[in-house]
Homo-oligomer: A and B are copies of this chain.
Amino acid sequence: MEQRITLITLGVSDLARSKAFYEALGWRGQEVQETVFFQAGGLGLVLWSREKLAADCGLEAGPPPSGFGGIALAHNVRSDAEVDALLALVEKAGGTVTKPPAVNAIGFYSSAFTDPDGHAWEVAHNPAFPLAEDGTVTLPDFGADR
C-alpha cells in the first residue's frame, strides 16, 4: 500500500449548508450529483451525504457522534496572525471555535474548530513542521526508528 490518500470524504447532513461553510472559508469546488469535490493539494476533499457515505463503506450510518468523531484534520499556516485571521473567518462563517488560538503545551500557536457537522479541524502555526511553497508538509526527522 503506497503511503498516500486520494480522497477525504466528510459525511454531511445538509450539503448546501456545508458547501456554503467551506466556500465562506475561501474554498472553491465542483458540485456534481449531490456531492461537492474540492481539490486540496494532491488529494480531494469531498462533501457527501453521511448516510450515502456510510452505505458506500458498507457501514450503518447510525446517529452522528454527539461529540468527537475520532478524526481531526489539521491546516497549518505560516504565522500566528494567519491562525487568528482564519479563526475569525470561521466564526463569521458560522463554525464553532472549540479551542481559541493560544500557545499550546508543546510551544506553538494553535486552535481548533468544528464545521457544521462537527468535523474537527486544527489550525496551527508549527515551525517544526515547515510548509513548502505549495503547502505540502515534509515531516521532520525525529530520529525515531522507522
**How many residues from A make CB contacts under 8 Å with B?**
79
Cβ contacts under 8 Å, A31 to chain B:
144-145
CB–CB A43/B5 < 8 A: yes
Cβ contacts under 8 Å, A137 to chain B:
6-7, 42-44
Q: Which of B30, B71, B114, B136 contacts A139 (CB 8 A)?
A: B30
Cβ contacts under 8 Å, A104 to chain B:
56
Q: How far is the CA of A117 from the CA of B110 in the complex (A)?
A: 26
Tell yes or no: A89 within 8 A of B by CB: yes
Q: How far is the CA of A38 from the CA of B139 in the complex (A)?
A: 8
Cβ contacts under 8 Å, A142 to chain B:
30, 32, 37
CB–CB A71/B71 < 8 A: yes
Tell yes or no: A103 within 8 A of B by CB: no
Cβ contacts under 8 Å, A138 to chain B:
39
